[in-house]
Amino acid sequence: MAIDHECSCNKNPLVPSLCQVIDVKQETGDVQTYTIQTMDGKKPFSPLPGQLAMVSLLGVGEAMFSITAQGEDYIQCAIKRTGLLTEAFHEMLPGQVIGVRGPYGNSFPVDDIKGKELLFIGGGIGIAPVRSLIRYCLEHREDFGHMDILYGARSKSDICFKEDCLENWSKEPDTNVYITTDISTEDWDGHVGFVPSYLEELGFQPEGKKVILCGPPIMIKLCSESLIKMGFAKEAVITTLEMRMKCGIGKCGRCNIGSKYVCLDGPVFTLAELDELPDEK
Amino acid sequence: MGNLTKEQIQDRIREEAKKALATGEVSCVVGWTKTRFPDKTKPFFAYTDAECDLLVWNEYCINSTAKYALDDRYPEQKIGLITRGCDSRALNRMLKDNQLKRENLYIIGVVCDGKENPVCDGCQHKNPLTYDVLIGEPVEETINEKRFTEVEAFEKLSADEKYEYWAKQYDKCIHCYACRNACPACNCVECYADQYRVGWQGKAADREQNQVYGLTRVFHVGDRCIECGECERVCPMHLPIMRQTKKMLKDINDLFGNYECGLPDDSKPVLGEYKLEDPDEFM
Amino acid sequence: MYLAKKDLEKALQTLSQKAVVFAPILETIEDKVSDAKTVEKKFMPYFDGAEVALEGFNTVKPPKDVLFPNVEKMYKYKTGAGAYIMELLPEDSQKIIFGIRPCDMRSIDSMDKVFLTKDYVDSYYAKRRENVTIVAFGCLEPSRTCFCDSMGLDPNQAPTADLMMNVAADSEFTICNDCGTKVLTDDGKYILTPQTEKGKALLEQLKELLSDGGESYQDTKCSLHIVKAENLDEKLSKMFEHPIWEKVTKGCIGCGTCTFVCPTCYCFDIDNENHGAEGCKYRCWDSCMFSDYTRMAGGANPRPTKKERLRNRYLHKLEFFNERYGETLCVGCGRCIESCPAHLDISDFIEKASLVEIDASDYSEANYSEGRM
């Protein structure tokens, strides 16, 4: 049989390229951001906002992470310490050689949301994928309407990307930033409360607005309910899913929800699209 | 099976199952029902009277019912189990291992005359050893004189012959864990083999990893094996797994005296407790 | 063209000169302490003196591992100073799968769709697939669990194979002493029909052993005919929360037998094997029946019990794959029915799912066991 070798990546999609970590930044107690370059100082690839990278620590393991930012010659992933592999990641120092393959998955529908007002909602490490889109929108600021960014973390010290969340983004034109923490601490004089209730308190108008919602499953569930109560259409709420992944290219099987593979057809879905899938998320 | 015919036992099973459900204390009764093949039954969970009428008793009721009790370790209601001698020993095993609570079980014991299953030929306990209600008159227990005959013969082979034999067997193994999942002594909440992140057990189904798994399991269940033969029956690749567990039991018998598992007594697994009089010649 | 049964061995020897020929061969493991020798029929490379068993029941394990090995090295690497990653592709050697059954051929069609389409081509599978020629054998005697014709297949035909092989209608049989199945006598003949260029090339290699003719072949029917709703995939898409799942999954013991004997199960895991600073990344078969299959690093598991896992497996076979690739992933080979330790039966599930009402609030086996009693 003749095999059509047209692969999106033009090479063996399961073999990573060697890359190096050029900077490690401690975001919170258990989140670090890694700046990643190829061995010859180039950008590994140019992902779309919301896309994923399979990052491996050779000899330890490999896992999928969202790409939280990119520049001329680098990409960045923010990784939370949750298991053995991510614990090993957290031991990394600048200069560490890693394997990277990707980019994987669909992306935030940047064309669909052009010209719209945007409401970004993030919780905890869920701000990582959202940040890639926020950065994209700020770079193309004139293409988008008013932007609201609502972010919740457990406490002030758990806020990821502190410069962006607490300083930079609120200085951007036509952009409001709302930060809330779950618990009240001495170093925090901002809002205290969970994201869904703060969301209802703020009471955004649904007209002409698209919502980008990422966070832990329970937050997504409660915020979705609040947004629908506030009059948002399910088509207007865009979220991302998380599943265990191994291959990243829709072959190995495990990240399916119904007939969709999160690694390939996701991770970005609207609530309307999720309604079409079996309830196994 | 003493005084009752197969049909009479089947009727009594259905009757006792219905009675158990009628008390309101038992949520379902686990037994066997027919499949589309006349020589196969399958484990069946009866929740209603109509479903109780689907329970069957014949020479093909070979699957162990006991292990299904582990599916719900903290049930709201009792679980009813149709229980043969081997199943009762499996339950005793899990009760002794503190995996089940006796008060969560309703045990309908049936005196068994052996099934279409080779392991039944060596059965030493046709009477259920633990039950709430018993169907059939207990029969006289037999001693299996040939319990370790095959192992003794195998022991006489050279190390190379033994290795060659087992290497070929483990080349067949597909690493499906059916033996573990069917085994009443394999009742760990999380099996070491599932702790992939720790890395005890490689996932590749090659000879090396299959042997690591097979031998680890045999040692782990060594002094708790009830000799029900489920491991060997369920193996899709027909590995003679019982030959290994029997070897463990034979050595234990040689070292510690007559030893059998799953009896309703206070005995503890010999390798799990220390006694001053334990043999220590190897030290 | 005809190939006489007595020339089968010569044919295999001829083909073995240019390729590794995987054929259904009986492998015996002698037991020195009892007469309980074990005989397994499996696809393995042909060698002189091999006991080839084209007829008889299908193999316990499908030949899918010729294309998708149980363990496959993907790349090797070194960490630390002088770190590297080096791709490891399968060798460029020609292989022939000889005597695959129509159900297993159709399974390879499904695997082709998975590994070679939808944006990414799997380099390992592609390399093996290109170098494989497939000779299919029309079933002579299906086993009691065979229901491929209920799943839309024909046990006599494998249209996507390179070469089709059937038993000539006027052949005579004997009954095998060991397994009790029909075996062609030495005077019997096979009909060989090329279906692709690769198939024609094989015939060319065998031409000295062939004779003209070969029109009508033994027409075989499946043993098991099941009730299957016309649009079962659509019906199942509305049955995700149906009470049937709770009941039909009760007996499952959560082992991986069904997935490992299944010719269409293709899920895999990826892991490392390290030796100091060097190591290799390999992939190996995985089973959706295992608890860790979907368990995430934090411990959350979207499919926590056997109910969710078996539901996913059945739906993958009967609904999800249809939605994604346009065909059913169960080919009716019956292997999982024969091998399941708990005697679960996917054909039984297909019948029951076909019969139940979509919006039933309760499900009882008692209402659907007619004909089983």
**Which are the contacts of C357, defined by CB distance < 8 A and separation ≥ 6?**
none
Q: Between C102-116 and C123-130, two packed helices, what is the crossing angle to 10 degrees?
A: 140
Cα gap B260→B91, rounded to integer Å: 14
Q: What tens digit of pLDDT does each residue of C167-187 get? A: 998 888 888 777 778 888 888
Closest by CA position to B212, among listed B279, B166, B148, B261: B166
Q: Are B170 and B207 a contacting pair, CB within 8 Å?
A: yes
Q: Which of C252, C288, C343, C348 to mutate to test the interface with B (most CBs of B within 10 A)?
A: C343
- 3-state class of A235 per DSSP? helix
Q: Which of C75, C84, C119 to mutate to test the interface with A (most CBs of A within 10 A)?
A: C119
Does residue C371 surpass a pLDDT of 50?
A: no
Which chain A residues are Cβ-neighbours of B198 within 8 angstroms? 84
Give the count of Cβ contacts less than 8 A between chain A and C. 145
* CA angle, residues A266, A270, A275, in degrees to nearest 5: 100
Shortest distance, CA C340 to any CA of chain B (angstroms): 8
**Which are the contacts of C213, defined by CB distance < 8 A and separation ≥ 6?**
C1, C2
Please tell me the predicted confidence (pLDDT) of residue B235.
95
Q: Are C98 and C21 a contacting pair, CB within 8 Å?
A: yes
Nearest chain B residue to A85, by CA: B197
Q: Cα-Cα-Cα-Cα dihedral of B181, C291, C316, C232, to 10°?
A: 60
For residue A183, what are its two tokens? Answer: 């618990």
Task: Over range B164-189, report the average pLDDT.
Answer: 93
Does residue C298 surpass a pLDDT of 90?
A: no
Q: Taking CB atoms and an 8 Å limit, are C60 and B237 in contact across chains?
A: yes
Closest by CA position to A250, among listed A127, A124, A104, A138: A104
**Exposed, middle or buried: residue A93 (CB in 10 Å: 0-12, 13-18, 19+)?**
exposed
Cα gap A272→A269, rounded to integer Å: 8
Structural domains of chain A, ranges and CATH numbers in brackets: 17-104 (2.40.30.10), 117-240 (3.40.50.80)
Cα gap A232→C76, rounded to integer Å: 50
Shortest distance, CA A139 to any CA of chain B (angstroms): 41
Which chain B residues are Cβ-neighbours of A84 within 8 angstroms? 197-198
Q: What tens digit of pLDDT does each residue of C335-344 get? A: 999 999 999 9
Measured between alpha carbons, how far is residue A117 from residues A177, A204, A209, A268, C333 in Å?
Answer: 14, 11, 5, 19, 55
Does residue C114 surpass a pLDDT of 90?
A: yes
Q: Which 3-state string (H, E, C) describes chain C?
A: CEEEHHHHHHHHHHHHCCCEEEEEEEEEECCCCCCCCEEEEEEEECCCCCCECCCCCCCCCCHHHHCCCCEEEEEEEECCCCCEEEECCCCCCCEEEEEECHHHHHHHHHHHHHHHCCCCCCHHHHHHHHCEEEEEECCCCCCCCCCHHHHCCECCECCCCCEEEEEECCCCEEECCCCCCEEECCCCEEEEEECCHHHHHHHHHHHHHEECCCCCECCCCCCCCCCCCCCHHHHHHCCCCCCHHHHHCCCCCCCCHHHHHCCCCCCEEEEEEEECCEEEEEEEECCCCCCCCCCCCCCCCCCCCHHHHHHHHHHHHHHHHHHHHCCCCCCCCCHHHHHCCCCCCHHHHHHHHHHCCCCCCCCCHHHCCCCCC
Please tell me the predicted confidence (pLDDT) of residue B1.
46
Cα gap C185→C170, rounded to integer Å: 11
Q: How many helices (H) and strands (E) does chain A have?
A: 7, 15
- Which portions of chain A are predicted below pLDDT 70? 1-10
Chains contacting chain C through 3 or more C-beta pairs under 8 A: A, B
Please tell me the predicted confidence (pLDDT) of residue B233.
94
Cα gap B271→B223, rounded to integer Å: 6
Q: Taking CB atoms and an 8 Å limit, are C33 and B53 in contact across chains?
A: no
Does residue C71 surpass a pLDDT of 90?
A: yes
A84 reaches B (C-beta below 8 A): yes
Nearest chain A residue to C303, by CA: A280
B212 reaches C (C-beta below 8 A): no
For A163, which DSSP code?
A: I
Which chain B residues are Cβ-neighbours of C285 within 8 angstroms? 205
Q: Are A212 and A118 a contacting pair, CB within 8 Å?
A: yes
Which chain C residues are Cβ-neighbours of A21 within 8 angstroms? none
Q: Taking CB atoms and an 8 Å limit, are A59 and C272 in contact across chains?
A: yes
Phi, psi of C84, deg, nearest 5: -150, 165
Which chain A residues are Cβ-neighbours of B197 within 8 angstroms? 83-84
Q: What tens digit of pLDDT does each residue of B110-161 get? A: 999 889 998 998 899 999 999 999 999 999 888 898 999 999 999 999 999 9
Closest by CA position to C103, among listed C149, C45, C162: C149
Cα gap B123→B229, rounded to integer Å: 10
Cα gap B138→B259, rounded to integer Å: 23
Nearest chain B residue to C256, by CA: B176
For residue A217, what are its two tokens? Answer: 């499953």
List B residues 52-91 in contact with C (Cβ-Cβ < 8 A). 53-54, 63, 67-68, 71
For residue A120, what are its two tokens? Answer: 């970004």
Cα gap A34→A22, rounded to integer Å: 7
Cβ count within 10 A of residue A219: 21
Cα gap B259→B267, rounded to integer Å: 10
Nearest chain C residue to A105, by CA: C119
Does residue C54 surpass a pLDDT of 50?
A: yes
Any idea how long chain C is?
Answer: 373
Strand partners, A176: A148
Cα gap A108→A212, rounded to integer Å: 9
Q: What tens digit of pLDDT does each residue of C151-169 get? A: 999 999 999 999 999 999 8
**Exposed, middle or buried: residue C278 (CB in 10 Å: 0-12, 13-18, 19+)?**
middle
Q: Are A259 and C320 a contacting pair, CB within 8 Å?
A: yes
Does residue C217 surpass a pLDDT of 80?
A: yes
Cα gap C323→C231, rounded to integer Å: 12
Cα gap C18→C24, rounded to integer Å: 19
A186 reaches C (C-beta below 8 A): no
Q: Are A200 and A230 a contacting pair, CB within 8 Å?
A: yes
B174 reaches C (C-beta below 8 A): yes
Please tell me the predicted confidence (pLDDT) of residue B201.
86
Run of H or E residues at B34: strand B26-34
Question: What is the percent of chain C where pLDDT is above 90?
Answer: 76
Cα gap B248→B224, rounded to integer Å: 10
Nearest chain A residue to C75, by CA: A15
**Exposed, middle or buried: residue A6 (CB in 10 Å: 0-12, 13-18, 19+)?**
exposed
Mean model confidence pLDDT for chain C:
92
Q: Are B21 and B29 a contacting pair, CB within 8 Å?
A: yes
A94 reaches B (C-beta below 8 A): no
Dihedral sign of CA atoms B260, B261, B264, B269 in order? positive
Measured between alpha carbons, how far is residue A211 from residues A118, A236, B236, C210, C272 in Å?
Answer: 6, 6, 52, 70, 40
Cβ count within 10 A of residue B229: 23
List B residues 213-272 in contact with C (Cβ-Cβ < 8 A). 233-234, 236-238, 240
Q: What tens digit of pLDDT does each residue of A96-154 get? A: 999 999 999 999 999 999 999 999 999 999 999 999 999 999 999 999 999 999 999 99
Domain definitions of chain B by residue range: 6-135, 149-272
Please tell me the predicted confidence (pLDDT) of residue A1.
57
**Which are the contacts of C368, defined by CB distance < 8 A and separation ≥ 6?**
C351, C352, C355, C356
Cα gap B205→C113, rounded to integer Å: 25
Residue C373 binned pLDDT confidence (cut-offs 50, 70, 90): very low
Measured between alpha carbons, how far is residue A70 from residues A15, A44, A47, A114, C139 in Å?
Answer: 22, 10, 8, 20, 58
Please tell me the predicted confidence (pLDDT) of residue A153.
95
A41 reaches C (C-beta below 8 A): no
Task: Over range B171-185, report the average pLDDT.
Answer: 94
Shortest distance, CA A265 to any CA of chain B (angstroms): 27
pTM of the entire structure?
Answer: 0.94
**Exposed, middle or buried: residue C240 (CB in 10 Å: 0-12, 13-18, 19+)?**
middle
Largest CA distance in chain C: 70
Q: Taking CB atoms and an 8 Å limit, are B204 and C282 in contact across chains?
A: yes
Any idea how long chain A is?
Answer: 281
Q: Taking CB atoms and an 8 Å limit, are B177 and C260 in contact across chains?
A: no
Which chain C residues are Cβ-neighbours of A258 within 8 angstroms? 315, 320, 323
Nearest chain B residue to A84, by CA: B197
Nearest chain A residue to B195, by CA: A84
**Which has the higher per-residue pLDDT, C296 or C71?**
C71
Q: Are B141 and B172 a contacting pair, CB within 8 Å?
A: no
Cβ count within 10 A of residue C356: 18
Please tell me the predicted confidence (pLDDT) of residue A4.
62
Q: Taking CB atoms and an 8 Å limit, are C240 and A82 in contact across chains?
A: no
Q: Is the peptide bond before A267 cis (omega within 30 degrees of 0)?
A: yes
